[in-house]
Amino acid sequence: MGADMIDHPPHYTSHPSGVEVIELTRGLPFSLGNALKYLCRWSHKGQAAADVGKALWYISDYSKHPARTHPMPDATKRLWGRYMAAEQHRHTREALACIYHVATAYDLSDAFRQRMLDEAATAIEAIREAEGLGNG
């Protein structure tokens, strides 16, 4: 039997942590969740340049149009921790950490939120450079 491309596609379920990406994106504002989605799948779907480019686009969009985040349940925080601990690509792990800070600190100052988004974008750009992906 082939992969379940509707409910559990392998580009969202193949991470060594065993965490499915949707478990991390639930409850996030749209653009922040999409940035995370593309960041998590860039090395798994075969469209790395496009996925990295989309992650950057959504980081930029969230930066321009920030939406309030809400307190994250402890169970979801543990999943994030498991996901980040198992992430083997350094720049991906750095970008994940920045997105996590934005997602969990719902009372961030605008300056700190922007710094975390800028650092996430820098880490995603480093993926592009390290992997020779160009501008997708």
pTM of the model: 0.91
Confidence of residue 136 (pLDDT cuts 50, 70, 90): low
Buried b (16+ CB within 10 A) or exposed e, 94-133: bbbbbbbbbbeeeebeeeebeebbebbbebbebbbeeeeb
Evaluate whether 21 touches 87 at the Cβ level (below 8 Å). no
Evaluate whether 31 touches 61 at the Cβ level (below 8 Å). yes
Domain residue ranges in the chain: 26-130
Confidence of residue 106 (pLDDT cuts 50, 70, 90): confident
* Residue 10, pLDDT above cutoff 80: no
